[in-house]
Amino acid sequence: MIRRRKLLRNARGIAAFCAIGFFIFVFIGRAETREFAPAFEKSGEALYRTACSSCHGSDGRGAPKYHVGFDVPLPDFTVCNFSSREADADWAAVVHQGGPVRGFSEIMPAFGKALSLREISLILAYLRAFCGNPDWPPGELNHPASLVTEKAYPEDEVLYTVALDVEGPRGVSNKIVYEKRFGARNQFELVVPFGWSERAPEPGAVAAERWKGGLGDIAVGAKRALFYNARSGTIFGAAGEVIIPTGDREKGFGKGTTVFEPFVSFGQTLPAEFFLQSQAGFEFPVDADRAGREGFWRFSLGRTFASGRFGRAWSPMCELLGARKIESGERIQWDIVPQMQVTLNQRQHIMVNFGARFPLTDGNFRDTQLLFYLLWDWFDGGFFSGW
């Protein structure tokens, strides 16, 4: 009883901390300065032709090497897979401060003294039109990844996730997640879990024999962004996973049966740089005697802000997780997960996220976990690029 009260007090304190932090970030976001359009301004097309077309071409495909006089490959803005996936803030950083601000070539000059942020935004709006295919969701809808809640935006990423049990029997759960985008709205996913857990010591056993390890149940899945609205900042997707019983159930590394997991995901851009993500789905095992059917729902609220105007991105988030066994009639299990995602390098395609998962219900037999992931957005370059 004492332990349960302590866990509830800690969880309530964490929730209060998240709420206070979000209000502070709202205040900071509203205090940011904004640039207003001058009385007379050029169009995005006119600005692009004056400042950009000599290198990037009037059609956005890049001028030939004999014209620009250097060998650095120029991007093709008509390729939607390239031009749609990054948010305007990342493009504006490169235009304003030059290529090195995001770990690219210094051949890309800085236009911060020649163009205002308002003029840069007009250029970017014109540049986006080179894609010509509205089926590709814009990068503004690609919100930071939470530790548990899956987002609706399709991505090209590799994640290494870790969960550490800090109460009761110790354990380390790991996952390697590979995500590959194909087409405008689709994504393939492969999840390979593995881990180690502490078992009760046997008489005469040495310390090393107290730990057991193994491969978990591998999962394959696919996701599709069904709908998005750039103006409202909304994106909605559906996905399905098949979890294959490759793990050793006797050692606690698998469920011993194939599991089908359909779910939907939702993302919403909010004022003052806030964002909301949610996910809901079910787990349907083939053999119900080995694993029960379960429903789950997850919510993540966060805000992204930068060090300076274009520096390192920080994204504090707080997740609320719910799950319930369908047949048994058990009550809903609630968890809260405060966390912080930080970009590590200049290109901002390498990120880490640290957090902790606190049980709000059934704290007597569910333990607190420390959570972590390392994320590599491999489409933006190699792991050691852009530092």
Nearest to 212 by CA among 198, 201, 200, 225: 198
pLDDT, greater one: 165 or 279: 279
Whole-angstrom CA distances from 77 to 15, 174, 203, 232, 297 are: 44, 38, 67, 24, 38
* pLDDT value for 207: 56
pLDDT, greater one: 202 or 279: 279
Please name the helix (run of DSSP H) or strand (run of DSSP E) that holds residue 262, with its range, or none.
Answer: strand 259-269
Residues 182-194 have a mean pLDDT of 96
pLDDT band at 4 (very low <50, low <70, confident <90, very high): very low
Query: Taking all residues of the chain, what is their mean pLDDT, rounded to a whole number?
Result: 87
Phi/psi region, residue 348 (left: phi>0; alpha: psi -120 to 50; beta: rest), is left
* pLDDT value for 288: 86
Amino acid at 380: D
Per DSSP, helices labelled H in the chain are 2-31, 44-51, 53-56, 65-68, 80-83, 88-97, 117-128
pLDDT band at 353 (very low <50, low <70, confident <90, very high): very high
Question: CB–CB of 297/263 below 8 Å?
Answer: no
Whole-angstrom CA distances from 265 to 28, 297, 324 are: 29, 10, 18
Q: Count of CB atoms within 10 A of residue 152's CB?
A: 30
pTM of the entire structure? 0.84
Task: Quote the crossing angle between the two packed helices 44-51 and 117-128, to the nearest 10°.
Answer: 100
* pLDDT value for 326: 86
* pLDDT value for 31: 41
Calpha distance 212→147 (Å, rounded): 25
* pLDDT value for 222: 98
Residues 198-217 have a mean pLDDT of 70
Q: Which structural domains are found in the chain, ordered by start?
A: 2-28+137-380 (2.40.160.40), 44-128 (1.10.760.10)
Give pLDDT tens digits for 103-127. Answer: 999 999 999 999 999 999 999 999 9
Give pLDDT tens digits for 354-374. Answer: 999 999 988 777 889 999 999
Give pLDDT tens digits for 61-84. Answer: 998 888 888 888 899 999 999 999
